[in-house]
Chains A and B, each alone.
Chain A
Amino acid sequence: MRKLLLLTTVILVGLVFIARLFYLQVYNSSAYNIFEDTAIRKEYNYPKRGYVYDRNGKLLVANQPSYDVMVIPREVKPLDSLELNEFCELLKITREEYDKKLKRATNYSPRLSSPFVQQLSKKDYAVLQEKMRKFEGFYIQKRSLRSYQTNIGANVLGDLGEVNRQTIKNQPYYVLGDLIGKQGVEKTYEEVLRGVKGIKFIQKDRFNKNIGPFKEGALDTLPQPGKDITITIDSELQAYGELLMKNKRGGIVAIDPQSGEILAMVTGPSYNPNLLVGRERNKNFSRLFRDTINMPTFDRGLQAQYAPGSPFKVINALIGLQEGVVSVNETFPCRMGYYYGNRRLTGCHHHKSPVSMNSGIAQSCNAYFVNVYRRIVDKYDDAGDGMNIWAKHAKSFGLGNFLNNDLSVGQPGRIPDGDYYDKAYGDNRWGSTYIVSNAIGQGEVEATPIQLANMAAAIGNRGYYYTPHIIKDIEGDTIDIKYRTPKYTTIDKEHFEPIVQGMFDVYNEGTAKHIRVPGIDICGKTGTAENFIKIDGVKTQLTDHSIFVAFAPKDNPKIAIAVFVENGYWGGRFAGRMASLMIEKYIKGHITRTDLEKWILTHSLENEYKKPYSGEPFKINGETTLQVIDNYAIENPNQSNVKL
């Protein structure tokens, strides 16, 4: 017995030790991760971010150096008040801000570095650098900021912002203080543009002193520079679009139908991209994002879902031909609207009657398209089946769904189908007469300007389109195959010719007669969409939206465009003029219809936009007078050669 005491104790202790070691080293220990090893300091070397060029090789976005003061709170040596004053003065902050920033950094982590004061100017940096040694725990991290070579295209180019904690959690590549693309191509091509940062692992001792490279630098990596990209935007066209959009709200999207390349992507109101660079970024950013009336950061070309109005009629015409429910020459009477029994379902404006397909499009006759639309829906016994067929065709034009492209924002729009109305009215408790508004692009149909531009491209191409995209070229890389593959609509090619002719006649003798551009065969379609908002809970009608969709030239089109001007009244008034100007600008390179240009630049809709917020009753549409402004363009006779 006595012999066993020590023996059993020894064995027992051995077992306890091995259990404890198992707990410490196996159970409680995660796989070794050098990034979590506090004994290794990680120093980053940021590569050059790729430049952005426009389709003509013009540099749009470059870089400029920037200097951040970083802090490791644990290593900060308390400063006496003299030193503290000096330091604050160098950084241009107050004592209170100093305390606040230090506290915030400590809260994040006393051991890890976090940004203290960001984006010092070159001058401040030069002064500070000399004295940096005195302030232990602080160091300067050089970074690269964007330098915009232009004042346009904020919504296209996007901006860089500091990466947030959520992103860091999901993408461990980033560390606090890194910059990441927040909008536009900066966001969608972040990984291409940023490159890969280099990293140096440095062995620290327990006093946080560097001892030397970890493993002789075997794990260190060199930074890989970001790649330059060329985007499809024609910066001159973009600038011109932004000029035209001044004092208006809406969007312009222009696409090259033969490649799906987006030539211009205008939203109004917009802002100068330079506002989101440098130390003022945060202030400007919140000012822009909090402007819920003008919403300058809301890209109306991509995100605004409007009722497409009359341009959508051509889709109904195409579907009618494809489904064989109407022939090109068949005519319908129009008695200032469409009558169902004695009830007028839609009104129409004054024009010759009866109308064939060609004049139906050219004159934008509502009654004609309600007839066609009802025949499509009623082709099958069940209106739901008819609607589903109709929706399938409409969707093949890229409507009613996300385009799934390389833009950072987008909206699906809406193409309702049978299920949609079954839900709304109940199964089989509805018929074609319930939903005739879709015939003329009102009702439940919604689309974004880019979807309408793409629709125009598909018509111009007689039945196919390339997914609209912004990337033209990546340095040393190819662009996604999906942007080089045509997508076909469900409408046969031969049905397009009469429709194209109809759209051509819109310019020749129809609703866009007055905005013809000499020498260019433009096919277009005007649109005028009623719209309502709620003011203090009361549904109130506002002045109609002005819409125009076009492509040119008629054969082998080079440009397809959609213009949307909020509360611009009828389609030819604002949107049509702007579309004609954009087309001329792109195809000819200069403007001959200076009368149109002058009209656009001297007319503002600002007063129109103020009405709903005025709190007073107001008039709309024909009862209003248009605001004429003293635009600088008047003072510059050569206004079409706008400086970028």
Chain B
Amino acid sequence: MLRENQRRFKFDWITIILFLLLLGFGYLNILSASHEGEITSYFDTSQLYGKHLVFIGLTFLLIVLILSFEAKFYEQFASLIYLVAILALIGLFIFGKDVNGARSWYGIGSMTIQPSEFAKFATALAVAKYISDLQTNMQTLKDQLRVTAIIFIPALLILLQNDAGSTIVYLAFFFVFYREGLQQVYLIIALSLILLAVLSLKFGILITAIVTILVIASIYFFSKKKRGSILQYIVALLVCISFSYGVKLFYQHGLKVHQQNRISLWLRLEKDPAKLERMKKAEAYNLIQSEQAISSGGISGKGFLQGTRTTGKFVPEQHTDYIFSTVGEEWGFLGTSFVVLIFVLLIIRILYLAEGQKSQFSRVYGYGVASILFVHFTINIGMVMGLIPTVGIPLPFFSYGGSGLWGFTILLFIFIKLDSNKINEW
């Protein structure tokens, strides 16, 4: 009934507007955080804000390109795209360039490109492709292992390149798996393990063990009907205690000192005031500056380009991972809640659209997009405000950087394309 050209342009404008809002507001804040002295020209590409404007320009070209492909293309070529991304990650070990101790960039002339930003959408496509296969059943262990392998390969490669922050993002796919049928017990186990880990670090193994025993014992006594063998409970208990012990060991020996300190700061483990003072100048410096900048903004902020801490470059990495502190200082509570609101609306909108997809591929992919954006949003803003330990990942569409911006744009617009195509699918 619908004519061809009408079908073609049925893009979800709400998502696009939310995207544009983030992109535009992000640019203003990058301008604020990166300018030094007077701004002579917005297109001055020797300045970061000038470069970012170029990135934004290219982003629109990229969008046109993505939307011009047939929707089917992404499903058909998902495996190939994934393969290219993995090869790009492997290639880093040979051709990569060290920046800040992480080997995550290709240098092309004066430009650098970070393949891990592109590996996200590639992985999301591959996961969608695998799960949407008719043969796949997420309830079976075999498929669970295989799909885990799909995300494990890029995650491991990124971890080996010393970019632990980006590795954590791949945990986002847990939400996808759960949506697609992963057993509830995994969720319970995951939550329990997180709780156990935090407990062991904060209160020590002994207290954790006592709490665990109490909890398991009460489960045993209250579930009279299908209680099963007592041996199961003892095994569970032992597993928990050894996990708790393992966490402690890993914290003490497996982590690098700066990672250890970040966690220690977050859980307030350090009691020695002299050491704490040292940490304030090292690991906690960013966080303290960032929190102060946000606090100093008050309700309505100091005004665009008027942030004294932003202008004085008090917050290191403010244009990239700590961009949210600029929003806090210059736009105040009104600005920060606006950004939080936009992100929440964007993610909810994607989830809503994903649920409405007719093809499983589109749905799974949409879920992947929402999950990845969600994890970035949570970790980045949580970190900048001191709610979670410092993990260096960018705020989507907001932070400075070409690779990040393009990676997220591709991620989002492939879904917009898939979504626009849903009425053509039966």
Contact = CB atoms under 8 A, between A and B. Distances in A.
A204 B289 CA distance: 14
Contact of B314 (A18, A24, A39): A39
Nearest to A16: B387
Nearest to B327: A21
Given A26-B298, A29-B298, A17 B308 contact: no
A643 interface: no
Contacts of B316: 206
B179 A5 contact: yes
B289 A24 contact: no
B311 A32 contact: no
A399 B298 CA distance: 56
Given A37-B308, A204-B312, A29 B337 contact: no
A91 B298 CA distance: 44
Given A5-B187, A21-B333, A206 B289 contact: yes
Given A6-B179, A21-B333, A21-B336, A32 B385 contact: no
B297 A7 contact: no
B312 A203 contact: yes
B328 A21 contact: yes
Interface string A1-24: 011011101110110111011101
Interface string B302-317: 1000101101111010
Contact of B296 (A9, A16, A32, A215): A32
A24 B351 CA distance: 30
A21 B294 contact: yes
Interface in B314-342: 314, 316, 328, 332-333, 336-337, 340-341
A7 B385 contact: no
Nearest to A34: B308
A280 interface: no
Contact of A37 (B178, B296, B299, B385): B296
Contacts of B370: 6, 10
Contact of B309 (A2, A22, A39, A214): A39
Contacts of A203: 308, 311-312
A6 B343 contact: no
Nearest to A25: B333
Interface in A21-52: 21-22, 24-26, 28-29, 31-32, 37, 39-40
B175 interface: yes
29 contacts: A2-B178, A2-B179, A3-B351, A5-B179, A5-B187, A6-B371, A7-B351, A13-B377, A14-B340, A16-B387, A17-B382, A20-B387, A21-B294, A21-B333, A21-B337, A21-B340, A24-B295, A24-B385, A25-B298, A25-B332, A26-B298, A29-B295, A29-B299, A31-B298, A39-B309, A203-B311, A205-B312, A205-B314, A211-B312
Contact of B337 (A18, A39, A40): A18
Given A10-B344, A10-B374, A14-B343, A26 B333 contact: yes
Contacts of A18: 337, 340-341
Contacts of A13: 344, 374, 377-378, 382
B155 interface: no
Contacts of A31: 298
**Leading 6 A-B pairs by shortest Cβ distance:** A39-B308, A14-B344, A25-B333, A39-B312, A206-B314, A205-B312
A347 interface: no
A13 B332 CA distance: 19
A324 interface: no
A17 B348 contact: no
A212 interface: yes
Interface string A208-241: 0001101100000000000000000000000000
B109 interface: no
Contacts of A21: 294, 328, 333, 336-337, 340, 385
A10 B343 CA distance: 9
Nearest to B36: A211
**Secondary structure of the A side of the interface?**
helix
Nearest to A11: B344
B126 interface: no
Contacts of B313: 205-206
A5 B370 CA distance: 12
Given A13-B378, A206-B312, A32 B298 contact: yes
Interface string A51-82: 00000000000000000000000000000000
A28 B179 CA distance: 39
A21 B324 CA distance: 11
Contacts of B175: 5-6, 9
Contact of B308 (A5, A10, A11, A40): A40
Contact of A212 (B37, B181, B297, B308): B37
Contacts of A17: 340, 381-382, 385, 387
Q: Which of B296, B341, B378, B381 has the most CB of A within 10 A?
A: B296
Given A39-B308, A211-B312, A26 B299 contact: yes
A73 B316 CA distance: 23
B367 interface: yes
Contacts of B344: 10-11, 13-14
B355 interface: yes
Nearest to B331: A25
B340 to A, nearest CB: 5
Given A39-B308, A203-B308, A29 B348 contact: no
A24 B367 CA distance: 32
A39 to B, nearest CB: 4
A204 B371 CA distance: 40
A24 to B, nearest CB: 5
Nearest to A17: B340
Nearest to B387: A20
B308 A214 contact: yes
Given A22-B333, A25-B295, A25-B333, A3 B355 contact: yes
B22 to A, nearest CB: 15
Nearest to B352: A7
A28 B294 CA distance: 11
A3 B178 CA distance: 9
Given A20-B385, A24-B291, A204-B312, A215 B374 contact: no
Given A10-B347, A14-B340, A17-B340, 8 more contacts: A5-B178, A24-B385, A29-B296, A29-B298, A31-B298, A32-B302, A37-B308, A212-B37
Nearest to B179: A2
Contacts of B299: 25-26, 29
Nearest to A31: B298
B367 A6 contact: yes
A21 B331 CA distance: 12
Contacts of B302: 32
Contacts of B179: 2-3, 5-6
Contacts of A5: 175, 178-179, 187
Contacts of B328: 21, 24-25
Given A9-B374, A14-B344, A215 B367 contact: no
B378 to A, nearest CB: 5
B25 to A, nearest CB: 16
Q: Which of A6, A11, A13, A39 has the most CB of B within 10 A?
A: A6
Given A26-B299, A32-B302, A39-B312, A10 B348 contact: yes
Nearest to B333: A25
